[in-house]
Amino acid sequence: MDTSMNTEVVMQISGSVVVLCQLGKAVGVRGRWGLLLAALFSGVGAGLWAWSTDSFSQAGAWPLFSGYIVVLSAAAGVFNLVNKTAEQVTLMRGTGSGS
């Protein structure tokens, strides 16, 4: 059994986490709670994978972390958080903005 967090594993975890986040969104989770829900589900998904493959080790820490970040990015997209963050930065006006 291959215990590396490769692209196939990340896609499997992402698919499950995205569906769970879509269910959360359907029941009314919005805003920052959506991001927290995505982070929680992503952590649980990556943690379950690591536990089921006995991959908790120092050598497996970086692949597990980077896989978690990819899964979290996919899950956060359910709540459109990536686009909203860029939009909020664009809408901010500082003292040197010329307006």
Inform me whether the pLDDT recorded for 94 exceeds 70: no
What are the structural domain ranges in the chain? 40-86
pLDDT at 38: 94
Q: In angstroms, rounded to a whole number, what is the distance separating the alpha carbons of residues 88 and 59?
A: 38
CA triple 80-84-85, angle to 5 deg: 120
Q: Rounded to two decimals, what is the model's pTM?
A: 0.76
Asked if 73 contacts 82 with a C-beta cutoff of 8 angstroms, the reply is: yes
For residue 57, the model assigns a pLDDT of 82
Residues 6+ apart with CB under 8 A from 5: 46, 49, 55, 60, 63, 64, 66, 67
Whether pLDDT at 80 is above 90: no
Least confident of 25-34, 59-68, 87-96: 87-96
CA dihedral 18, 24, 25, 31 (to 10 degrees): -100
Residue 97 has pLDDT above 70, yes or no: no
